[in-house]
Structure formats: C-alpha cells, structure tokens
Chains A and B, each alone.
Chain A
Amino acid sequence: MLFIISIFIFVGVLETLTPFLSRKTTVFGVSIPEPYVQHQQLQLFKKHYCMLVGSIAAAFLLGQISLLFTSIQEEKFVLLSFILLFVILLISAALYMLYHIKIIKLKKHENWEAHVKTVYVTDLSIRDRDEVLSPKFFTLPIIITLALITFTYMNYNSIPNVFATHWNAAGEVDGWTEKTWISVIIIPLILLGIQISVFIMSFGMKSAKIQLSAQAKEASANRELAQRKCGSWYLAVMNYNMTILLVVLHYTTMILKNQTVPYFFPLFIVYMIVSLGGLILYIWKLSKSNERFDDLHTKETAAADDRYWKWGIVYINKNDPSLLVQKKYGVGWTVNMANKWSYIILLVMLLPILLFISL
C-alpha cells in the first residue's frame, strides 16, 4: 500500500510541476514569442494550474492516508488509489486543454505575432557539442535478448508443460501458462520489441532538431544539450534496467525452472527505484538547465512550429526529416507522425503484445 501511495505522490508532483518543466517559450503547448515569455498572464495560468492540480492531488492523498487507518482491504485500497490516480490524470489533461485554448485566444487577442519579428537561428557548432548516446549503445540489449531466445529453444525439451507467468506482491505464483513454441519466448519477445523500438529511436534522437531561441541562444543551447544528453542516458538506463529484470526473470523460470526465488521481489524493487530515481534525476537536471530570459532586448523570436502540432501534443511535420522531436509540453520526446518510422516503431512494440493476446 505504501508502494502504491508513493507512486501516487510521484505522479501527483510530476503533473503539478509539468508547466514549469517545459521550455519557457512553450506554455501549455503553445509557442510563446520570446519577447512575451515573461507575460504576467502566462505566469498566472501556470500558477493556477499548479494550485488546482496540486490541491486536488493533495486532497486525494490525504483521503488515502486517512483510509490507511481504517481496516480497508488491500485490494480495495489499491483499486481506489488507481482510480484516484486516473482522475488526477484526467483533471490535469482537461486543465491543460483549457489553458491551451486560453493562451491561443490571448495570443490572438493581443496580436502577438504582429509585434514580433520571426527569425531562423542556429549555431553551427551545436552538433559538435551534442552528447546524445550513439545507437551502438542500444545494440547490446538486443544481442542479449536474441541469445536468450536461442538458449531457450536449445533447452525447449526440458521446459515443463506449464510454467509460471505471474506473481503476486509476496512473490507467490498466481498465474500459469501452457508451453508452446511462442509462449516460451513471450517475455524475451516483448523485451525485443521494446529494445528494437528504442534502437530506432536512438537514431531519431540524434537527428532530432535542436531548437535555439533567438535571444537566449547560449542558454537555450545548454538546455537543449542537457535535455538530449540526459534524455538518451535515461532511455539507455531504462533499457538496460528492463533487460536485466526480464532476462533474470525469464532465465530463472524457464531455464532454472525455479518459480519462487526470493530475489524476484527485491529485484523488482530495485527496478522501480532505478526507473523512478532516474526519472527524478533527469527532471532535476533538466529543470536546472532551463533557459532564462533575463535580458530581452529585441523583438526577435525564433520561428515557431505551432502549425505542425495538434493541441500541442501530436507532431505531424512532413518538412522535418527526423523521427523524434522534443515534446512541446513536459519533458522527453515524441514521434513525428509524418515519418513512416513512427508507425514501424508502434508496430514493432505492439506486435509481441498482439501475439500474446491472440494466443
């Protein structure tokens, strides 16, 4: 129960702070011309959003904590916690859309576009300073998984006819699956799908555009470089983390035929700590590197790409050859839906899961 509460706290804090984690030149998914980044109304919108989401999340949290002192069943509690989590996500999404529309209106009403001068800027040395991890880094997990699949088939005959596929929190088996040529490799197959997607994405990260601002060029360069470096590192850590977890799980149950080893649960906890801790570290690094617009002295602004974004969330740009682009709202990357590789990624990721369902 404490575990589920800590997830709730984590998501709540993250949802509350998201407006402040995005670039200063995009507020709720709308591009803000650089001379207007310090517009009071924008700060107010961000503050209102934070206060609303923060207070609702806090209220939900207090409710959950007070339930802890009653004799509520664990299952009921977990279910309730998940529902509240979902409600928080819904509320923040609704508020996001509300402020997204409000800012578009404000932008039109005050006619910002007419008061600024759009320019295209870049720094030719920026690509040399880029420290995104090379795709090579993402090949090793794929090799490990392929080796594991081969090894599983080499030992196919010795695998029992039914084997464990699900464990409860106490580490006891509560789900079994029948042996077939596909079911014995379903875990590595799902892993492989994710690994290949990440591998394709690692190319996309390298070629993704580096958007500099016209007036805070050095600061925006630093933010972009930090975001790219930390983002790719986080992806690599997650990739290796998941590979270790699933490989150990698969190897122990399939090859060693040991269904209830005491190290499953601690392994899972380590996995969660690395994932969440990595994310916190990543966000902390990013917020530290966020650009500042302290001395705005011209009315210039870097070209905005709003027309390629739907609701500030979905990116569709035929002119952009790269697969990935930095999210307009929040941290991380999103795919360019005009790039055919984005569909290949989706397919590769979904294929093993579809296979699993159809079994």
Chain B
Amino acid sequence: MTDFCLVINDTDWRDKVNIHLDPSSELQLYKQLANQLIELIAKGELKNGETLPSVRSMAADLGINVSTVSKSYHELEEKGLIELKPKAKALIIGGQKKELKETEVEKVENALKPIMAEAFARGLEKDQMTNLFHRILKQWK
C-alpha cells in the first residue's frame, strides 16, 4: 500500500473559490462554511453583486445537511454580507468599500477586542500584533 506523507501545503490546492470543511475540527461545520465565505468575499473572489449557489445545491455538492448551509447563509445575512432573495438566490452585497456607521465600527471593535486582549495577555508584543495585523490585511488588499 501507498505510504502516506502528509504535506502541509494548503495554498497549493485550496485556491480560488474552493470550500473545504473539516468535520474533525472543533469549529462547527456551519461556522467553517460561513468563515470561508466571508474570507472569499474579503479577498474579492466572491464579488459584490454575484450570487452564491442555492442552499440546496450547496448542500448537495458538499454532501452536508441543507439546514447546516442554511444556518451559514443566515449568519451571513445577519452580518449584512448577503441578501437572501426568493427563488433561493443569495446575492452578495458585502465586499465593497463604503463608509461604515459609527455603530458598525463599534461592533467590529467589540468583536476584535477580546481576541486582541487574549493575545496580549498570552504575551504577544504590540509590535508583533501590528505585524500580524498587516500580514492578514495584505491577503485582502
């Protein structure tokens, strides 16, 4: 039998608009799907005005439950990134530059704070944190 060698090189095949969910991860499937969709929107691989596959075909193609996909789509809708239209269309409305309202900026800040606080408490230097920030931001241009 073939010997396995695990090559950690996920940029190699996880390119473009691929979705890759790992059921053994501690993150729930619907959350993984939502996160990956958000990242694709941030990267501009899913553009404003495009539509996502319908909940049914997404569930069928991935081989997961319809309700799981539906949960991710609703999360994206709540975040104001997609708009669920009749005929199972999910229109992407995020992904464009616009002035955010003060309350929305506050929301982002509130979400970010505990993560940064945790990193700081665990001993990450402020410089390192800024570098990390820039590195992540670079991926989205």
User: Are B61 and A212 in contact (CB-based, < 8 A)?
Assistant: yes
| A residues less than 8 Å from B24 (CB atoms) | 117-118
| A residues less than 8 Å from B13 (CB atoms) | 215, 217
Q: Is A12 located at the chain interface by the 8 A CB criterion?
A: no
Q: Is B52 located at the chain interface by the 8 A CB criterion?
A: yes
User: Are B63 and A305 in contact (CB-based, < 8 A)?
Assistant: yes
Question: A124 is contacted by which of B7, B29, B46 (Cβ under 8 Å)?
Answer: B46
Render A282-325 as a binary contact track against B, CB cut-off 8 A, 1 for contact. Answer: 00000000000000111100110100000000000001111000
Q: Is B110 located at the chain interface by the 8 A CB criterion?
A: no
Render B2-26 as a binary contact track against A, CB cut-off 8 A, 1 for contact. Answer: 1011110000010011111111100
Closest chain B residue, CB of each to CB of A296: B2
Least Cβ–Cβ distance between B66 and chain A, in angstroms: 6
Question: B66 is contacted by which of A39, A117, A319 (Cβ under 8 Å)?
Answer: A319
Cα of A121 to Cα of B61 in the assembled complex, Å: 8
Q: Is B80 located at the chain interface by the 8 A CB criterion?
A: no
Cα of A126 to Cα of B23 in the assembled complex, Å: 22
| B residues less than 8 Å from A54 (CB atoms) | none
Question: B17 is contacted by which of A115, A123, A215 (Cβ under 8 Å)?
Answer: A123
B-contacting 9-mer, from A13-21, A164-172, A203-211, A235-243: A203-211
Q: Is A73 located at the chain interface by the 8 A CB criterion?
A: no
User: Are A126 and B6 in contact (CB-based, < 8 A)?
Assistant: no
Question: B18 is contacted by which of A115, A121, A299, A320 (Cβ under 8 Å)?
Answer: A121
User: Are B63 and A302 in contact (CB-based, < 8 A)?
Assistant: yes
Q: Known: A35-B2, A120-B29, A124-B53. Is A321-B60 also a contact (CB below 8 A)?
A: yes
A215-234 contacts to B (CB < 8 Å): 215, 217
User: Are B57 and A127 in contact (CB-based, < 8 A)?
Assistant: yes
Q: Is B62 located at the chain interface by the 8 A CB criterion?
A: yes
Closest chain B residue, CB of each to CB of A218: B13
User: Are A120 and B2 in contact (CB-based, < 8 A)?
Assistant: no
| A residues less than 8 Å from B61 (CB atoms) | 122, 126-127, 209-212
Least Cβ–Cβ distance between B69 and chain A, in angstroms: 10
Closest chain B residue, CB of each to CB of A322: B60
Q: Is A119 located at the chain interface by the 8 A CB criterion?
A: yes
User: Are B19 and A121 in contact (CB-based, < 8 A)?
Assistant: yes
| A residues less than 8 Å from B20 (CB atoms) | 119-121, 214
Closest chain B residue, CB of each to CB of A293: B2
Cα of A306 to Cα of B27 in the assembled complex, Å: 25
Most buried by B among A118, A120, A297, A321: A120
User: Are A299 and B58 in contact (CB-based, < 8 A)?
Assistant: no
User: Are A297 and B7 in contact (CB-based, < 8 A)?
Assistant: yes
User: Are B5 and A217 in contact (CB-based, < 8 A)?
Assistant: no
User: Are A119 and B60 in contact (CB-based, < 8 A)?
Assistant: no
For this complex, into which size category does the number of interface residues on chain A fall? 35 or more
User: Are B62 and A121 in contact (CB-based, < 8 A)?
Assistant: yes
User: Are A120 and B5 in contact (CB-based, < 8 A)?
Assistant: no
Least Cβ–Cβ distance between A111 and chain B, in angstroms: 12
Closest chain A residue, CB of each to CB of B8: A298
Least Cβ–Cβ distance between B90 and chain A, in angstroms: 11
Least Cβ–Cβ distance between A152 and chain B, in angstroms: 39
Q: Known: A119-B20, A217-B18. Is A35-B4 also a contact (CB below 8 A)?
A: yes
Question: A297 is contacted by which of B5, B23, B56, B57 (Cβ under 8 Å)?
Answer: B5
A124-157 contacts to B (CB < 8 Å): 124-127
Cα of A40 to Cα of B62 in the assembled complex, Å: 29
Most buried by A among B2, B6, B7, B56: B2
Cα of A120 to Cα of B21 in the assembled complex, Å: 5
Cα of A125 to Cα of B63 in the assembled complex, Å: 17
Closest chain A residue, CB of each to CB of B4: A299
Question: B21 is contacted by which of A36, A121, A207, A208 (Cβ under 8 Å)?
Answer: A121
Q: Is B1 located at the chain interface by the 8 A CB criterion?
A: yes
Closest chain B residue, CB of each to CB of A208: B60
B interface with A by C-beta (< 8 Å)? 1-2, 4-7, 13, 16-24, 29, 40, 46, 52-53, 56-66
What are 17 pairs between A and B in contact, CB < 8 Å? A35-B2, A119-B23, A120-B62, A120-B63, A123-B17, A124-B18, A125-B16, A127-B53, A207-B57, A209-B60, A209-B61, A209-B63, A215-B13, A217-B13, A217-B18, A305-B63, A322-B56
Which 10 pairs show the lowest CB-CB distances between chains A and B?
A: A209-B60, A124-B17, A120-B21, A122-B61, A303-B63, A120-B62, A321-B56, A297-B7, A125-B17, A122-B62
